Amino acid sequence: MKLWVTPRGDRWLCSECEKIHQAAIAEEGWRPAFEKNDPMLRCSECGQGDVEIFD
Q: Is 46 in the site for Zn ion (CB under 5 A)?
A: yes
Pick from 52, 51, 54: nearest CA to 12: 51
Piece of the chain touching Zn ion by CB under 5 A; list 1-9, 21-29, 31-39, 40-48 = 40-48
42 touches 34 (CB < 8 A):
no
Q: Is 14 in the site for Zn ion (CB under 5 A)?
A: yes
Least distance CB 33 / Zn ion (angstroms): 17
Pick from 46, 39, 38: nearest CA to 20: 46
Q: Is 1 in the site for Zn ion (CB under 5 A)?
A: no
Contact residues toward Zn ion (CB under 5 A) are: 14, 17, 43, 45-46
